[in-house]
Amino acid sequence: MANLNELEKNGAFLDAIPQVPQGRYAHFVLVRETESFPLFQTDGTLNVIRVRAGQKDDKAISRLVMFKRKQSSPERLTGRELLRAFGVIADDADKKCEYNSEDFCKHCPDCIHYGYAIGDQGAEKSKVLTDSAFSITPYEDSHKAFSFNALYEHGTMTQKGETRSSFGEQDHIVPQVFFPAVETLRDPTYEGFVYVLGNLLRTNRYGAQETRTGKVQNHLVAICFTNGEIFSNLRYTQALHDVLGEQAAPLNPDTVLEAAASAYRTLIAQEPVSRTPEYLGNDLAQLAADVTALYQSEEKTRAFLTALDTKTRKYAGDFGASKKKGKGKSEN
């Protein structure tokens, strides 16, 4: 756990979750790769937007869009499963927390990190910042329409001599479509960092409801700690497009990840922020391996979740919504 231990000790983290933003950011620079047929859609059609292809390449293309919540909701649900498995969320009165309801507990690691809003009872702003992500390849190369039959229970289209004509067609995103994305944790504590990174590494199913999901792999390109926000997902996608040049889909994942690292270096060099520490290449792989090893150990996971829960409860007790007066709005 060389890199993770070193990171914990070198001053990258705050000891406690602060009430007021401290201008400290941990950025997870990712490429999300589809590995089956997820649906990122609204009202039955895939989300698509027309934008400029690159920063240099000025033609307009249509890109698939993965909106904020399509990214953050599955990740927070992954985290909540873990909290429940280790009894941080449970049925006891002081551990009860019901997702997307009036019974959000307002103090668990999920409520405090990913935020909530409960009518006029208060809200907590999300400390995990996401933004819409865009496919590198154009919509035309990134989806396929499949027709489906509405079968009777015995598995055919025919019942009592009559053949059903109801079948439909649905656009699906195809495998190996890449969505470059930056996810940011504001004012990170060590435990919050391990929690949010763990959720990124442990979530591999995205989409709206259960039937609409598909496999997505999150590849880490860089992790950097800065004193400000950095480039947008659209700029990152466009810079990556410029590095790749015109390539037919499906793109080669190795080529995409190399191009992503190159685009990251170009863009981060233009940002008016300090960045220490910064993890790329082998250092990043080691850090990710350290976090993976932590989650593979039940004992270490329990210890870190207990420390995490203590920190979010302390924050909730000192500054949480139950302490605040008046209404608030949540970002998540």
Binding site for Zn ion (CB under 5 A): 97, 105, 108, 111
Nearer to Zn ion, 118 or 173 (CB): 118
Distance, CA of 111 to CA of 332 (rounded, Å):
10
Nearer to Zn ion, 144 or 323 (CB): 323
In the complex, least distance from residue 142 CB atom to Zn ion, rounded to whole angstroms? 36
Nearer to Zn ion, 27 or 313 (CB): 313
Q: What is the DSSP string of 39-101?
A: --EETTEE-EEEEES-SS---EEEEEEE-HHHHHHHHHHHHHHHHHHTTSS-SSGGG---TTS
In the complex, least distance from residue 110 CB atom to Zn ion, rounded to whole angstroms? 5
Indicate the DSSP class of residue 15: S
In the chain, beta strands by DSSP E:
25-34, 41-42, 45-46, 48-52, 60-66, 116-118, 122-124, 128-129, 133-138, 143-149, 158-159, 162-163, 167-173, 178-186, 205-206, 214-226, 275-279
In the complex, least distance from residue 320 CB atom to Zn ion, rounded to whole angstroms? 11
Residue 163 one-letter amino acid: T
In the complex, least distance from residue 68 CB atom to Zn ion, rounded to whole angstroms? 20
Report the 10 Å Cβ neighbour count for 123. 21
In the complex, least distance from residue 105 CB atom to Zn ion, rounded to whole angstroms? 4
Closest residue by Cα to residue 198 from 214, 178, 225, 220 = 220
Rounded to the nearest 10 degrees, how much is the dihedral formed by the CA atoms of 199, 201, 205, 209? Answer: 10
Distance, CA of 221 to CA of 250 (rounded, Å):
20
Per the DSSP assignment, residues forming a β-bridge with 211 are: none
Task: Report CA torsion sign: 62, 68, 73, 78.
Answer: positive
In the complex, least distance from residue 33 CB atom to Zn ion, rounded to whole angstroms? 31
Nearer to Zn ion, 46 or 108 (CB): 108
Nearer to Zn ion, 78 or 247 (CB): 78
Nearer to Zn ion, 38 or 198 (CB): 198
Nearer to Zn ion, 106 or 143 (CB): 106
Nearer to Zn ion, 105 or 194 (CB): 105
In the complex, least distance from residue 109 CB atom to Zn ion, rounded to whole angstroms? 8
**Parallel/antiparallel/unpaired status of strands 214-226 and 275-279:** antiparallel
What distances in angstroms separate CA 93 from CA 83, 105, 229, one per listed residue? 15, 10, 38
In the complex, least distance from residue 131 CB atom to Zn ion, rounded to whole angstroms? 24
Token pair in block for residue 292: 């993976």
